[in-house]
Amino acid sequence: MNRRDFIRRGIVFATITATGAGFALRGAAAATLGHEATDELRFMRQEEKLARDIYQQAYARWHLPVFANVAQAEQRHMDAIWRMLARYGIADSLRDPQAQGGFTDPRLAKLYSELQVRIERSADEALLAAGLIEEVDILDLRKAAKTAPDQSLRRVYANLERGSRNHLRSFASAWMQRTGKHYVAQAMPQAQVDDILASPLERGGNGMGMGH
């Protein structure tokens, strides 16, 4: 074997070894995360997409800027979850992230269909539907955070929840201004929703929270 062949074979071997090590590290990371935390992360990826899809559809129907603004924020939420999936070597739970719908989780598929009906009724009903999405999202993010074994993952969930609180403030405020009524909680305890609405918009979270 001449020197050139030896070097070439060495490079190939090093590449294969590095690739194998990469797969091993990703597999180890996923194993460290655990089944429950993995399922929660994959679920949240779909739930953030549901919010984005519904807000895009609501904006196309009613042209209220709040829907367009929060839809953009939800895309950032989706991206944040995707980065965590990639970090842990977990397959994406979305077949086509850019397409509308296509949810594999039965609960989200059912909710998506129900929300599509609601947002067509009126702009006010669309705002209420958006409020429901954010309340459910807050509850699910809190649940997911309890299963997260990693501080960085808990931090992502905390940032996303901060964003969802801001989104709830934006949608509820828009609805109350249009109707003159007090926003009634749809999934969370009323006292918790009232506390959120009585407090100002929160800053932080790498731009994942604003939507007014």
Which pLDDT tens digit goes with each residue over 150-204? 899 999 999 999 999 999 999 999 999 999 999 999 999 999 999 999 999 999 7
What pLDDT score was predicted for residue 23? 38
| pTM of the predicted structure, to 2 decimals | 0.82
What is the predicted pLDDT for the residue at 205? 58
* pLDDT, tens digit, 9 for 90 and up, residues 31-81: 478 999 999 999 999 999 999 999 999 999 999 999 999 999 999 999 999
What lies within 8 Å, CB to CB, of 208 at 6+ separation is 73, 76, 77, 80, 159, 160, 162, 163
The CATH architecture that domain 35-198 belongs to is Up-down Bundle (1.20)
Model pLDDT, residue 25: 38
Q: What is the pLDDT of residue 209?
A: 46
